Amino acid sequence: MGITKLENQNLSNDAIGSGEINTGSVDSSKIGAEVKNENISPSANISATKLALPGPPSQFVRGDGSFGAIDTAGIDENAFNVGVLGFKMAVNDGLTIFNLVDGVVDEFHDNTGVDTAESSNATYDASADTFSNSTTSMTLISDTFTANTTPSTARIVLFAELPDGTSDFTISATRDNSTFNNITLTDEGYQAGSSGIKIFSGSTSLTGSSSPQVQVRWKIVGSSLTGTNKIHGVSLQWE
């Protein structure tokens, strides 16, 4: 009598070969949680988009599969504090403008780091090492510093007494001596104690596209000023 039902014993070992399996016939429903590394071709080239990556682009995949940001805040803080320490050193030791690696520190011990011709209404006080607004507006702009390579970011630390607040000032930096990118300053508090010079910090991307893109400058523009705003120094770094 013929086979009416196929029993396992009716199948020889290796009876089912590739030819007996239809293309595409094995789908997820046919596979248990069984796929292992060795099941996957060495050249599988599985796209990362096949991974469940619900995290934002600001986060990275950790070794345990969780997501998290890499804390680089300290890098910025260290860079700003390099500027702060440089300013303190320049004040205490009476230093004129000096260079950092990819940066400058100028506490205005003299006005050699400032482009006085392009500045306007910025009165230099040699005894106090400050520039201040002589009228309701002021422009104070540095000389041009040459970067070794095209920078994409500028960090600035401003040491100042600003009775008009930062809102009446626009701080910017350029890499091409043409396009100045605005910097939003953060009030970091007083340099010492609870009065006097304050520390303001901020950074910006540099986007100027004129050639060469290694002409770095900072610029402070004040408008609608009612008080006497004193700029004590600037530390500018770029990368």
Partner 1 sequence: MSDTKVNSNMIEESGKVSSGQIQPNSISTADISNATITNSDISPSAAIALNKFSLPGSSSDFLKGDGSFGTVDLSAVGTNAFNVGVLGFKLAVNEGLTIFNLVDGIVDEFNSEGGIDTGENSNASYESASDFYQNLSPTPGVAMHLGVDAVTFENPEHAPLITYTSQEATFGAFGTQGSITFPTLTTSIEATMVGAGAGNNAAGSGGSGGSVQGTIASPSIAGATWDYVVGEGGAGPQYSTPQYPSSDIGATGGYGGGAYGSTGGSGGFTGIFDSEVTIIEGGTYNETGNYHTPGTPNNYPFEGPGFSDTVSPTNASEAVLIVGSGGAGENSNGAPAAQGGGGGFTAGTNGSGGFSVPTASSGGSNASGGGADQEANGHLGAYPFGEGSGFGPAEWTQESPHPDAIHFQGGGMGYPPYHYGGGGSGYHGGGGTSDPGGYTGGAGGGAGYSNPTYVATPSLEYEAAVGSASNPTPLSVFDEAPYYTGLPSPRQALFADGARGEGSTSGRTNAGGDGGILLVFDAGSSATSMTLVSDTFTASATPSTSRVVLFAEIADDLNTDVAISVTRDNTTYNSVSLTDTGYVSGSSGIKIYTGSTPLTGSASPQVQMRWKVVGSSLTGTNKIHGVALQWA
Considering only residues 46-105, where is the footprint of partner 1 by CB under 8 A?
A: 46-49, 51-61, 67, 70, 72, 75-76, 78-79, 82, 85-86, 89, 93, 95-103
How many angstroms separate the first and last alpha carbons of the chain? 87
Distance, in Å, from the CA atom of 143 to the CA atom of 147, rounded to the nearest integer, reads 13
Using the minimum distance from each CB to partner 1, give the nearer residue, 3 or 117.
Answer: 3
Which of 1, 6, 73, 117 touches partner 1 (CB under 8 A)?
6
Single out the segment in contact with partner 1 by CB under 8 A; choices: 21-29, 130-138, 160-168, 182-190.
21-29
Using the minimum distance from each CB to partner 1, give the nearer residue, 173 or 225.
Answer: 173
73 three-state secondary structure: helix
Using the minimum distance from each CB to partner 1, give the nearer residue, 24 or 193.
Answer: 24
Nearest to 158 by CA among 202, 194, 115, 127: 202
What does the radius of gyration of the chain's CA atoms come to, in whole angstroms?
32
Using the minimum distance from each CB to partner 1, give the nearer residue, 99 or 226.
Answer: 99
Q: For residue 138, with 0-12 CB atoms within 10 Å meaning exposed, 13-18 middle and 19 or more buried, which class applies?
A: buried
Single out the segment in contact with partner 1 by CB under 8 A; choices: 26-34, 162-170, 180-188, 217-225.
26-34
Which of 1, 32, 73, 195 touches partner 1 (CB under 8 A)?
32
CB of 169 to partner 1, least distance (A): 25
The strand pairing partners of 106, in sequence order, are 234
Q: What values do phi and psi take at 152, rounded to 5?
A: -115, -10
Distance, in Å, from the CA atom of 239 to the CA atom of 78, rounded to the nearest integer, reads 14
Distance, in Å, from the CA atom of 214 to the CA atom of 221, rounded to the nearest integer, reads 22
CB of 227 to partner 1, least distance (A): 33
Using the minimum distance from each CB to partner 1, give the nearer residue, 56 or 194.
Answer: 56
CB of 152 to partner 1, least distance (A): 9
Positions 152 through 191 that interact with partner 1 (CB under 8 A): none
CB of 174 to partner 1, least distance (A): 18
Which of 63, 73, 127, 148 touches partner 1 (CB under 8 A)?
148
Using the minimum distance from each CB to partner 1, give the nearer residue, 40 or 126.
Answer: 40
158 three-state secondary structure: strand
Using the minimum distance from each CB to partner 1, give the nearer residue, 51 or 135.
Answer: 51
Residue with tokens 């403008």: 97
CB of 18 to partner 1, least distance (A): 4
Distance, in Å, from the CA atom of 191 to the CA atom of 83, rounded to the nearest integer, reads 12
Q: For residue 179, with 0-12 CB atoms within 10 Å meaning exposed, 13-18 middle and 19 or more buried, which class applies?
A: middle
